Amino acid sequence: MKIRSVYTMAAIVPLFLFLVTNPLKGQNGNLLNNRPLNTSGNNMLQSVSDQQEADLKKLYSSKVETPKEFLNGKEYESYYSRVKAKPLLFYEKKRSASIITKTRQYNNLTLQYDTYLDEVIYSDTSRTLNFRFPQIALNKDIVDEFYLYFEDDALHFINYREPETSKMGLKEGFYELVFDGGLKFVIRHESKEFLREGRNNYKYYPKYYISTGEEFTTYKNRKAFLRLFGNKAEDVKRFIKSSGIKVGKADKFQIVSILKYYDSLIVSGK
C-alpha cells in the first residue's frame, strides 16, 4: 500500500485551483470528475481555505457519475473510530485488492470490507482530505466481485443478488467463495452491534454455508454437517476423526480439506 504525504492547509489552495480546472484521476487513471465544481453565492465561510475545503469534500460526498467506472458511490464516514472492536474485516492486516465489474477488472486498489454494513470501501490514496484519505462506499450494483489479497490468504467475494439468492437460500450481499467443487462453500462475514460502556461495539460472526446442489444451508453441529454428504457420511466421519478436526470449531481451511476429501471419494467412485 502506498503512503502519501499529508498536505498542510496552506498547500490546499493551489491544489484546489488545479483540481477545478482538471479532471481527477484515480489509481487506474479513471476519471473521478470531469465537471467544474460549483460555488454558492450564499456561502458564509470565513476564508478561502475553508471554501476550498468544503468544495473538495463535495467532490466525494456526492455520487460519482463518470460512466463505466467502479468509482460510483457515496462518501464513507467511519462510525466506529472510538471503539476497539471495529466492523472492518481484518482491518489491521496489510493487503492489496481487485474489483471485477461487468466490463473489466481493476487491480492494485486499497479496499476495506465493512462486515456490519456489507459495503466495499475504496480509499483514494492519491490525495488527502482533512488530513486523511477520502473513502467511498462503492455502489453494490456495479461491483460483481472483489478480491482481498493478504500475505497468508486470498479472499474472493461474490455479490449474490435477487432473484438468484431466493433460489440459493441466502440473503443478498457479498459472500466469500471459499470452495467450488462437488459441494460449494461460502462464508458470510458479518458483525453484530452491541453496547459496551455506553458505546456501540461490533463483534465478528462469520457464517458458513454449504450447498449440495442449488440451495445453501448452514449447520449447528457435526451430525447436521455429516448429513450434507449423503451416503458418503460414514467415510467423511472417519476422515474427520483421523484428521482431529472439531467440526464446531473448524476454520475454513479444515472445512475445505473435508470437502476435498469428499470430492476424491466421488471421483474415485468409492
Per domain, the residue ranges of the chain are 67-218
Q: Are 60 and 66 in contact (CB under 8 A)?
A: no
User: Which has the minimum average pLDDT: 5-9, 89-93, 100-104?
Assistant: 5-9
For residue 257, is pLDDT > 90? yes
Which H or E run includes 211?
Answer: strand 199-211
Q: Are 106 and 46 in contact (CB under 8 A)?
A: no
Our CA angle for 204, 177, 235, nearest 5°, is 100
User: Which has the minimum average pLDDT: 9-13, 198-202, 239-243, 253-257?
Assistant: 9-13
Residue 14 DSSP SS3? helix
Q: Which three cell numbers stand for residue 253?
A: 481451511
The rounded distance, in Å, linking the Cα atoms of 113 and 161 is 18
- Roughly how many angstroms between the first and final C-alpha of the chain, as a whole number? 48
Residues 30-61 pLDDT 10s: 333 333 334 445 555 556 666 666 665 555 44
In terms of DSSP bridges, do strands 119-123 and 111-114 run parallel, antiparallel, or are they unpaired?
A: antiparallel
Query: Of 222, 223, 203, 225, which Cα lies nearest the Cα of 212?
Result: 225
Confidence at residue 2, expressed as pLDDT on a 0 to 100 scale: 38
User: Which has the minimum average pLDDT: 106-110, 126-130, 154-158?
Assistant: 126-130
